[in-house]
Amino acid sequence: MNTVDPTWPEWFRWHLDQAPFQILHMRELVETTVRAQDTEAVRVSGGSDPARLPYNADPADDADALYVELVLFAREVSEHTGILAPAPVRNGMWQGASEPQGLPVCRPDQAFAWAGEVRTWLTNQISDLEQLAHDGKLGDAPEHLVGTIREMRRHYPRAEPKFKAYRPRPCPTCGQRTVLPIWSAVGLAGAQCDSCGEEWSHRAEGNLDVS
C-alpha cells in the first residue's frame, strides 16, 4: 500500500470476520460427507466388504489451508508488533517439520473457536495492521489472505451476501470526496460523509454507487 486507504481497516476486518465461519462451514461439509458415507456403507453392504462412497477431502484440505494462512499471518503480525499472539497461533495446529500443516484432530466447533480467537486478536490490532500494511512490512500477505478467504467462499458458498468493493464517491450534499462506508455484520449497511456528516442507508445509495 502506497497511501493510507480510509476503507482498508473495514475491508480487512470484514474479511477476517468471515474466516472462522468459513472454516466451520468447510469442516461441517466434511462431517456431512463422512456421515453420508457411513450411512451408505451400511445400506448397500451386500458382500463381505461394505461399499463406500468416494471421500472428497477437498473441504478438509481447504479448511486446513485457510487456517494455516491465518495462523502464519498472525505469527508475522506478532513478530512485527511484539504483542503475544493467542494460544492457537502458538500451539493449536497440526505441526509439520517446520511449519503448521493444518488443524489438529478436532470437531468443527473447536476449529471455529480457534479460528475465532485468532480473528479477534487480529482485529484488536487493526490499527497496527493498517500501519504495517501501509509501510509494506507485511508485503502482500493481507491481500493474499483476503484472496484466500474470498476463494473459499466461492468454492464453498454460505448464505451471507458477498462483499462488494467500495469505491469512494463525492458527497451529494457538500461535494467532498469523503463518503465512507458503514459496515454491519453482514456487509455494507450504508455510507456517511466524513465532512458534513450526512448519512445514507444502503437502500438509498444508488446515486452514490458505493457497491
Per-residue pLDDT, 197 = 82
3-state secondary structure of 205: coil
Per-residue pLDDT, 46 = 47
Q: Where are the domains of the chain?
A: 8-162, 164-211
Q: What percent of the chain has pLDDT over 70?
A: 69
Q: What are phi and psi of 186, to 5 degrees?
A: -110, 10
Tell which residue, 81, 72, 85, 82, has the closest CA to residue 131. Answer: 81
How do residues 2-58 score in pLDDT, each as one tens digit? 444 668 898 999 999 999 999 999 999 988 766 555 544 444 444 445 444 444 568
Residue by residue, DSSP assigns 166-199 as ------TTT--S-EEEEEETTEEEEEEETTT--E
What cell does 41 get?
Answer: 456403507
Tell which residue, 24, 34, 19, has the closest CA to residue 111. Answer: 24
How do residues 140-151 score in pLDDT, each as one tens digit? 999 999 999 999
In this structure, are residues 117 and 87 in contact, taking their beta carbons and an 8 Å threshold?
A: yes
Its sign, for the CA torsion 164, 65, 154, 31, is: negative
Q: What are phi and psi of 183, to 5 degrees?
A: -100, 145
Comparing 95 with 194, the larger pLDDT belongs to 194
pTM, rounded to two decimals:
0.65
Per-residue pLDDT, 52 = 46
What cell does 141 get?
Answer: 500477505
3-state secondary structure of 101: strand
Rg of the chain in Å (alpha carbons): 21
| Rounded Cα–Cα distance for residues 58 and 50 (Å) | 23
Residue 168 — very low, low, confident or very high, per pLDDT cuts 50/70/90? low
Q: Where are the beta strands (DSSP E) in 27-103?
A: 94-95, 100-102
Cβ neighbours of residue 191 closer than 8 Å, sequence gap 6 or more: 179, 180, 181, 182, 199, 200, 205, 208, 210
